[in-house]
Amino acid sequence: MSSIIEMPELVLETIIGFLNFQAVYTLRQVCKDFRSFIDDLKKSKLPDSKFKKIHIFLKNEETIRLTFIWSFGSEIEIERYFEKEKPGFFDLISQGMCLKYFENNKNCSEKEDLEFYISSPDFELSHLTSTHFEERESLSTAWGAPFECQYSRFWFFQMKNSKILKITYQCVVFKVQIWFTCIEIGNVPQGAIIQD
Amino acid sequence: MAPKKNSAKRPQPSTPKPSAPARIVKVQSSDGHILQADVRALLLSSTLAATIKGYDDENKPLEKLEVNNVVGFTLKLVLEWCEKHKEDDPAIAQAEKDKKNIFIPSWDRHFLTKLPMGNLFDLITAAYHLDITGLINYGCKTVANSAKGKSTEEMRELFGIPEPWEQPSTSTATWDD
């Protein structure tokens, strides 16, 4: 008898294509094989998240809290414990699912999806707060020189949907706040570099 | 007054297409089981359709088709599904191929949901090897429907995946390992 993980990749892709975001997110937790498979999938193969905001909170050195918020007010909050190794910020952003969902899949027809009632899948904002942030210099290494203005640092990235992902970094008292905002190209300040 | 015969006025659920007499061939599974099927049902499989066409083009008698990657139990299920759908327009299944939402007819829903998950996976894998688009679509949608709304633990149970501490360390570390 077959195990689901032994099924052909095309079949798994088809199954995932019929799932909603929450189910894919849960499936990703089931085992490492699923996690790798889902992470390696093209964004167009993943279901539209349809959430408006993601709030990522590195609560302490062992805990991260993710809050996914839909525009109709519903939200799911997930807390994870990292007993062996604290996830670096980049692990979270580059390897986690979050970044995949910053660019919502525009090809997905919302009308056909009865799972959610939201009309627009555009996310507005994602916010990360960390009380234990030790990777400040790594940001510049990974994302290049920031555009600095007053007490904030900014990075700008071209998104596939012709919008710009603006990342704002602010150090406030004992914590670091990082905001992810989707903006129009006209709102990028003069002198700032837009990276691919 | 004699009662009227009601056959003329009874509405038919669907109008069956006029079709040629059934052409029955033997189909042999990988474990040696021999089953019988209508060629029209087998044509739902692109793989088998190509083989059948090859025989027909060469005017060779088609006595037995060998399906080397599907066992008898699963092949029986495949043939049962194909028999039910042999009158279907193949364009419908193709049109549904990349759709996010498809409607599973009640017969198919009953047929697929009654299967234990392992048998359903075997059936979908067989449909994949035989390239039967409609069966792949309905099977995958059935698996997806059964997974929706489940917790991580419930999904592990549904798919027969061991708990993280029971999984081999090479392939099963979970996100929070």
Pairing label, strands B64-66, B24-28:
parallel
Assign B52 to helix, strand or coil.
Answer: helix
Residue A187 has pLDDT above 80, yes or no: yes
Strand pairing partners for A170? A152, A177
Same domain, A100 and A22: no
Same domain, A117 and A63: yes
Q: Is the CB of A19 inside 8 Å of chain B's CB atoms?
A: yes
Q: Is the CB of A84 inside 8 Å of chain B's CB atoms?
A: yes
At the top level of CATH, the class of B24-166 is alpha beta
Same domain, A6 and A27: yes
Same domain, A5 and A67: no
**What is the C-alpha R_g of chain A?**
18
Give the best residue of B146, B176, B177 to mutate against chain A (max A CB count within 10 A). Answer: B176
The ranges assigned to domains in chain B are: 24-166
Same domain, A56 and A41: no
User: Is the pTM value of this prediction over 0.80?
Assistant: no
In this prediction, residue B130 carries a pLDDT of 96
Q: Which amino acid, A79?
A: E
ipTM value > 0.90:
no
In this prediction, residue A136 carries a pLDDT of 66
Same domain, A41 and A136: no
How far is B62 from chain A, CA to nearest CA, in Å? Answer: 30
Domain count, chain A: 2
In this prediction, residue B33 carries a pLDDT of 95
Inter-chain touch A11–B176, beta carbons under 8 Å: no
Q: Place A86 in a pLDDT band, splitting at 50, 70 and 90.
A: very low
Query: What is the C-alpha separation between B82 and A102, in angstroms, rounded?
Result: 42
Q: What is the mean pLDDT of chain B?
A: 83
User: Picking from A65-79, B59-73, B124-138, which range would have the lowest pLDDT averaged per residue?
Assistant: A65-79
Per residue in B108-125, pLDDT (tens digit) is: 999 999 999 999 999 999
User: Picking from B13-17, B67-71, B73-77, which range would have the lowest pLDDT averaged per residue?
Assistant: B13-17
> Can you give the residue range of the structural domain that contains A23?
1-47
Inter-chain touch B118–A8, beta carbons under 8 Å: no
Same domain, A11 and A67: no
Residues on chain B touching A113 (C-beta within 8 angstroms): 100-101
In this prediction, residue A8 carries a pLDDT of 92
In this prediction, residue B58 carries a pLDDT of 84
Same domain, A128 and A188: yes
